[in-house]
Structure 1
């Protein structure tokens, strides 16, 4: 099941979709048993707005669906919210981009910036899964095949696609993160 709904790039856009067109979040079938009988089953809430500016959009509702067969629930996230991560894709991209450029990254974690430990974990994740991600992205986007090394490839991904869109594409084929 695709956990990421592509094309919803901001929290504001996500909130509008939840109010008016929440059907875009309905999975085509249950990820657990495969039955196509899914009903809206309320929401769960995430603290997805970590921007320092006010007013905060937290808590952000995430649509939840329940399978009529196995009775389990599932949900899908907008492109702007990373699954199983505290910070969104754009913050991660900024940190990873700085790391690619050899700049010091991370802060104390209390000023809206990710902690050094978080950025180190993201860097390790990208290095561990980077080859698999690169292969899949190069198969889909030919222009990315021109970059020869790890650093050049990810700079090109960040410049052309951006990490949120790249992860939405990868989510169609594999589990990210």
Structure 2
């Protein structure tokens, strides 16, 4: 099951989609048992707007669906919200860009960005999974095959797709974060 809905790239767009067409978030089948009968089961709220420059939209609703077979709930997130992460993909991408250019330090927490230890964790997470991520991305996007090495590939991914779209695409094949 895709946990990330591709094409919803901002919190404003997500809130509108939840109001206008919550069925867009309905999974095709239960990720736990595979039954295709899921009922809308309200929503939970999540703090997703953690960027300083944007007005606060928190909390944002995340639609939940209940499986009629196993009675478990599931939900799907928009492309702009990272699963199991405090900061969204755009903040992570901006914090990782200096590392890809060879700088040892990324954004600093005193400027409202993530703490350096958090950026280190993201960097280690990306490096540890990079071979698998690279395999799937290069198989799908031929132009990424020209990028030689970890840094060059991820700079090209950030420039062409963006981290959010890349992770949403990878989420179909793998479990990201």
Structures share a fold, TM > 0.5? yes
Which runs of no fewer than 5 residues in structure 1 stay unpaired?
A: none
Superposed, which structure 2 residues align to 1:140-159 within 5 Å?
140-159=140-159
Task: Encode CA deviations 1:89-109: one digit per residue, 9 max, x unaligned.
Answer: 01111111111112321322x
The two structures, once aligned, show a CA RMSD in angstroms of 1.1
The DSSP-based 3-state class of the residue aligned with 1:154 is: helix
Q: Deviations over 1:106-137 (max 9, x none)?
A: 322x6531011110000000000001000000
* Distance (whole Å) between structure 1 residues aligned to residue 79 and residue 20 of structure 2: 18
TM-score (normalizing by structure 2): 0.96
Deviation of 1:14 (Å): 0.1
In structure 2, the residue matched to 1:84 is: 84
The 8 Å contact of residues 3 and 76 in structure 2, kept in 1 or not, is answered as yes
> Are residue 107 (structure 1) and residue 108 (structure 2) matched?
yes
Native 8 Å contact 2:25 2:76 kept in 1:
yes
Structure 2 unaligned regions, length at least 5 = none
Q: Which residue of 2 aligns with 1:136?
A: 136
Task: Please report the TM-score for the alignment, with normalisation by the length of structure 1.
Answer: 0.96
Deviations 1:126-176 (A, max 9, x none): 000001000000000000000111111111101111101100110000000
Q: Distance in 2 between matches of 1:133 and 1:141?
A: 12
Provide runs of 4+ in structure 1 moved above 3 Å. Answer: none
Shift of 1:55: 3.5
Paired residue total: 176
Q: Report deviation, 1:51.
A: 1.9
SS at match of 2:145: helix
> Could you tell me which residue of structure 2 aligns to residue 45 of structure 1?
45
